A = this chain, B = another copy of it.
C-alpha cells in the first residue's frame, strides 16, 4: 500500500509500505477514505520536536472497516468509522470519566509505530472497541455522502473535537461572551463549538484575513487582529473591562497562554488544547483572579458521541470548511509544504473512494 513516511526535517515521502493486519484480537484495520495534515504535525516536520526517520505519520482519518480482530465486537467489516487521534480502552476510570485521550492503556496514533499512521491507504487501530466512532448506516449510507459531509466527518477525528474540548473545558454556556485565541483549524473549530454551546458573543483573535473571514462565517462577532498586550487591551475594551466569560486557548505558546489568561473574566476558565511549548503559568496571578486552567489532549470520541456526530449529520455545523486545499497521497509532500507555508489552513488527503 501507499503511505506517507517521515524522512527528516521537511521531508515527507509517499512510499510503498506493508499493508497492516490486526496484531492482536482487539485491533482492526481500516481502509482510509480521507486523512489530513494537522498543525501539530508541523512541530516535527519543522524539526522543533524529534521524530525518527522512516516513521509512518498522520493521526486523523475516516474510512471503512477492512478487517477486525476476533475480540472486536462493536464494528465489523463494511462499517464506516471515524478514528480519533488517540486510541483508548474505553473501560477504565479515565475513559469512563470522558478523558479517553489520556487513557493509561491507550496511546497516540502519532507515536510513529508501524501501521498506525493515518496518512496511508490502510491503518491499524488498537483497542478498536474503545476507540472508533461508528457512523450509522455503514459504507452503504456513506456512499451517498457529499464531499462536504465527508470533510465534516473527517474533522471529527481531531480538530472539531479538539475545538469542542477547549469550549467544554472552558465551560462555555448559553449567553456567554467567549474569546478564542488561535486561528488555526482548531481555533476556528473552537468558534463553531462556542456557537454550538450557545455563546452569545464570540471574539476571535486572528491576524489573517482568510481566517478572520472563516471565523466570522463560523459565528465570530468580533475580530481582534492585535497580538500580545494590545490584544489584551482590545478584548478588555470590547468587554467593558471585564474580560471574557470563557476563553479557548488553541495555540499553546507562552504568549498565547499569557494572552488567554489575561483576557479571562475573574472566575472564568481558560480551556486549553494547544500543545504546550514553553508555556508558563503564574500561579499567584491566576489565584487572585480565580482563573481556571483546564484541558489537554481532547476527548474527541466523547464529544463526537455526545454532540458532534449528530450536529454534522444534521448539517448544523460545517467544520470541513477548514480544508482549503486537497491532495492525493502521491502529493502528500505538497500537502505538508502548503501547511508549513500557511498557504492553506488545513490540507485534506483524498485517499480512496468510500
Contacts and interface: CB of A to CB of B under 8 A. Distances in A.
Interface of A: 92-94, 97-99, 101-104, 169, 241-242, 245, 257, 265-269, 272, 275-276, 279-281, 283-284, 286-297, 299
Stoichiometry (number of copies): 2
A281 B284 contact: no
A283 B257 contact: yes
A102 B276 contact: no
Contacts of A292: 169, 269, 292-295
Of A104, A281, A292, A295, which is in contact with the most chain B CB atoms at under 10 Å from its CB? Answer: A292
A305 to B, nearest CB: 16
Contacts of A288: 102, 296-297
B279 A284 contact: yes
14 contacts: A93-B265, A94-B242, A94-B266, A99-B266, A99-B267, A269-B294, A275-B287, A281-B293, A287-B295, A288-B297, A290-B295, A292-B292, A292-B293, A293-B293
Contact of A98 (B98, B267, B296): B267
Contacts of A281: 281, 283, 293
Given A169-B292, A242-B93, A292-B292, A287 B272 contact: yes
B295 A265 contact: no
Contacts of A296: 267, 286-291
Nearest to A277: B284
Nearest to A275: B287
Contacts of A287: 272, 275-276, 279, 295-297
A267 B88 CA distance: 14
B102 A290 contact: yes
A266 B169 contact: no
A317 to B, nearest CB: 24
A265 B102 CA distance: 10
